[in-house]
Chains A and B, each alone.
Chain A
């Protein structure tokens, strides 16, 4: 039995056990050893977390680590350090690397690099189709055995309904969830932002909300037909929330995530920031009615979890004309503070609900270990300081990506320590 770590004097918030109390937390041998009052083991290093909140390690199930292939944008090492600094103990990385993660060898490479980085945990997501070309299914059995926790052709939606049917059906053999980026490619062609009054004023071509909504409807129906598990990535429209809500009510195996930027910003940001490319992402920022519907989905459980869609790009990809710039913003190092300040402090959701959205729920959605502090669970802990004031400063990000529409925002509440497998991988000097 190795020496343990005792987190002492903090408030433990763990919705998976219905716990919100002043408790000590003992971690040993990579697992949670005990959770209780006044623990006093004689062979543990004591970490004083008085005044802080200890939660199950946060999990972000939608991250682009860019390696292999786009190491100038991000690497597994920089991305996992950014994750830890943002309070995430685990991330699931999307397969749109180069080459695409559509076979076991690439999955193993990603896991090797993650092990070498020795920071946040990495759970790879495999491709739905070979090369994410939308033609033939990838080998899900191999991918699962190599360590993939789900499959997705993120960024390149599965447009062929028959193929999507086969994928949902076949994936049942391996209990894999299909994560779909829902949009109709033809309706979205050349689109740069949400279609509406703001795109009209800015003279930018827009994508209508229907593009997302009809694909979500399709996926819910195909999940119903096959009994497969569909997870809807970055839900951004009211109609998509509604489609998921109706599907769940019928007992369809569908889950959904929302990003902080879709919860907090609207397409008006593109105008307010005068075409700044930090407002260009896919799906785009929507109108306020959509934003409020996504928050409502978060409150009533239609939306299962929060994920960042962390999509780092180089300065060269973003410091150009709006129509030519890459889609995507970084999110790992801003998500938790944004949600604490703008969702919890405004009483839109409780702290317990937020912890579930970031920890328990993502673990349940993709059947990952963690998301709980029950004894025996992985010793992954996120420690929050609800009173800490932070300013979003992209130049201080550990991610290689610096593009965020939240630059300069003053937020209250921040992650101050991240523990993975009992080891402190990130800590703020207090």
Chain B
């Protein structure tokens, strides 16, 4: 069986290529479970997983829950947006209280970059980062990679354009690390005000979307958070769509059969035109499907489940 070297999954940056391959290969094996009439294996029976979500999430949280259930883990989801955080409880106190119930794993989404690192230092459970601030969203990058591999058979040498709000995007950071480690060619694109300093030392970066799309095997569009408007990063959504949005006309510069990806939720008519999001090259919903298999792999490898018996 494949092995994974870490105790937590806090980000893609610390992983070795072998870890990433192990996760993707395991996801490949586990994906089969989801096609069975009874979509459940007893692999993590008796293990307890707490999903601790400090930020609203539909896709990621339900994806983790489905993965946990498919592996027969006992799960508990806490939405901290509506729980004790409003009573002024600190993350440390919440973590200690959850720890007192002796779970095996905590899956956390938090708006503060580094919150999962803080949690992992202060508890015994395995910690999975389900997105922390603008830092990382490792399972998103893994499911993106899984989708790319599924559709193209490999990651090495693929030309992948990541376009949009690079500054605030944890999805970009995790994908950048993963694709670099797996030897894909990444090109980044966004308005200069949304390009974080120093990023060009990790991947080439352009302000021209046509240049980024040229010859791409895959285009990953990043969500524009509408609240960014107040930061004065760009003058209007209209101009953003015109200059940095993905339209059908622009797609023609990419390779034939280009893969159009988006971590969701999409802003139709802002970063991506509806015809593209719903068009034949879009694999946006495949990404969602694959998310469950990839998260099953993460849980399985970190919790050291038994063989995936039939």
Contacts and interface: CB of A to CB of B under 8 A. Distances in A.
B235 interface: no
The interface centre, meaning the residue of A197, A201, A205 with most chain B CB atoms within 10 A of its CB, is: A201
The interface centre, meaning the residue of B110, B112, B115 with most chain A CB atoms within 10 A of its CB, is: B112
A78 interface: no
Interface stretch (B99-107, B192-200, B243-251, B254-262): B192-200
Contacts of A297: none
Given A274-B114, A321-B112, A203 B136 contact: yes
B36 interface: no
A206 B135 CA distance: 13
B61 interface: no
B198 A196 contact: yes
Given A202-B135, A204-B113, A324-B112, A319 B92 contact: yes
A378 B114 CA distance: 49
The interface centre, meaning the residue of A200, A319, A324 with most chain B CB atoms within 10 A of its CB, is: A200
Interface string B175-200: 00000000000000000000011110
Contacts of A198: 198
The interface centre, meaning the residue of A195, A198, A274 with most chain B CB atoms within 10 A of its CB, is: A274
B186 to A, nearest CB: 15
Contacts of B31: none
A397 interface: no
B198 A204 contact: no
A266 to B, nearest CB: 13
Chain B contact patch, size range: 20 to 34
B286 interface: no
Contacts of B198: 196-198, 200-201
Interface in B85-143: 90-92, 110, 112-115, 117-118, 121, 132-136
B112 A206 contact: no
Contacts of A204: 113-114, 133-135
B197 A197 contact: yes
Given A203-B132, A316-B90, A322-B118, A196 B112 contact: no
Interface in A312-345: 316, 319-324
Contact of A196 (B133, B136, B197): B197
Interface in A179-208: 195-206, 208
Given A196-B198, A197-B201, A274-B114, A321 B91 contact: yes
A199 B118 contact: no
Interface residue SS majority, chain B: mixed
A170 interface: no
A275 to B, nearest CB: 3
B85 to A, nearest CB: 11
B164 to A, nearest CB: 15
B159 interface: no
A274 B197 contact: no
Interface in A185-235: 195-206, 208
A275 B90 contact: no
Nearest to A315: B92
Given A203-B132, A203-B136, A316-B90, A321 B197 contact: no
Given A196-B198, A321-B115, A203 B173 contact: yes
A274 B117 contact: yes
B24 to A, nearest CB: 23
A322 B116 CA distance: 11
Contacts of A319: 90, 92
Given A200-B197, A320-B118, 8 more contacts: A196-B198, A201-B173, A203-B113, A203-B133, A206-B197, A275-B113, A319-B92, A321-B112
Interface of B: 13, 90-92, 110, 112-115, 117-118, 121, 132-136, 170, 173, 196-199, 201
Closest 6 CB pairs of A and B: A275-B114, A197-B198, A203-B135, A203-B134, A321-B112, A200-B196
13 contacts: A197-B201, A199-B196, A203-B133, A203-B136, A206-B197, A274-B114, A274-B121, A275-B113, A275-B118, A320-B90, A321-B112, A321-B114, A322-B115
Interface of A: 195-206, 208, 274-275, 316, 319-324
